[in-house]
Structure 1
Amino acid sequence: MKKGKRIATGAVTLVLLAGLTACEGMSRQGRNTAIGAGAGAVGGAVLTGGSTAGTLGGAAIGGIVGHEASK
């Protein structure tokens, strides 16, 4: 079961990083929000052992921090 979570976490990380390449036309604040959400999702997944709630919570917190930091 742990191997499946690691593969899923790795896949989510790759998708998020690939999604960041689409940030070229975004505003600075939008880009920082997306980067914060991606980093928060990875951090939340790592800290909670890959739980869905931890990943989503990390993404939400990271997105808020990224959004507010660029004001």
Structure 2
Amino acid sequence: MRTMMLGIVIALLLGLAGCGTTTKDRALSGAGIGAAAGAGAAAVTGNSMTKGAVLGAGAGAAAGAMTDEEDINLGD
């Protein structure tokens, strides 16, 4: 149950996947946003913050790299 909640929270927060105009910028910012979201979600659900940060960073980097600036852009 906790793992499922962690996944749902990370998925919701990854709606803000990345910012920047290049794929590299978007992947890096997505990783940072995902790591923070994963660690926060893990802390709330009682899971390992390290594991949450690692999972969130990976998912965030992928989400950031797969979007382009027309989809979502939080700025340069």
TM-score bracket for this pair, using the shorter chain length: 0.5 to 0.7
2:57 counterpart (42, 47, 63)? 63
Deviation by residue 1:15-69 (Cα, 9 ceiling, x = unmatched): xxxxxxxx98x81110010000000000011111xx6xx1111000000100111
Tell me, which stretches of 5 or more residues in structure 1 are unaligned? 1-22
State percent identity of aligned pairs: 34
What residue is the counterpart of 2:13 in the other structure?
A: none
Runs of 4+ in 1 over 2 A off after TM superposition: none
User: Is residue 41 of structure 2 the alignment partner of residue 43 of structure 1?
Assistant: yes
Larger-Rg structure: 1
Partner residue of 1:11? none
By percentage of residues, which structure has more helix? 1
Gaps of 5+ in 2: 1-18, 66-76
Q: TM-score normalized by structure 1?
A: 0.54
Aligned partner of 2:25 in structure 1 is 27
TM-score by length of 2: 0.51
Deviation at 1:70? 2.0
Aligned residues: CA RMSD = 2.3
Higher RCO, 1 vs 2 (CA within 8 Å, ≥6 residues apart): 2
